[in-house]
Amino acid sequence: MSTIKEQLGAYLSKEGLRPEDKPYGFHFNFEDLSYHVFWDADDPRYLSLTLPGIFDVDDNNRDDALYAANQVNDNVKVVKALVRKDDVWVVAEFLIDQTPDFEDLIPRMMKILKGARLNFYDTIRNL
């Protein structure tokens, strides 16, 4: 029986996403976006799918980035927008059962992340 991580890697490969195995989980690209899947070895039923570095943050735009991230967190299900030291990430965290349906879960999470990214950009643009 394969692990959930192996099942996820097999699903991503089957979809042609060519996941790169990394110490933290997987990395793959889709539609010009770079996704990361973070894996917690101590909690193998937890995954986070991220779009890192969607916006560069500096001292001049940090307040706007924090405001836009808060809007994403308030308006988009399942997603956290994180203002880090010098960039913004959108993260979908989820708990999975022992037989996850990645064919349903991953495309939906990718769509939600893309929507959160656009929500962030729309908020920044309208400030």
Closest listed residue to residue 82, CA positions, set 120, 115, 122: 120
> Which helix (DSSP H) or strand (DSSP E) does residue 115 occupy?
helix 102-125
Number of domains into which the chain is organized: 1
pLDDT at 44: 85
Mind listing the pLDDT tens digit for each residue in 68-103?
999 999 999 999 999 999 999 999 999 998 889 999
> Which helix (DSSP H) or strand (DSSP E) does residue 103 occupy?
helix 102-125
Low-confidence ranges of the chain (pLDDT < 70): 1
Degrees to nearest 5, angle at CA 23 with 104 and 54 = 60
pLDDT at 99: 86
pLDDT at 1: 52
Query: What is the 8-class DSSP label of residue 33?
Result: E
List the domain range (segments joined by +) for residue 87.
4-125
Strands (E), the chain: 20-22, 25-30, 33-39, 46-56, 79-83, 87-95
Q: What is the CATH number of the domain that holds 107?
A: 3.30.1460.10
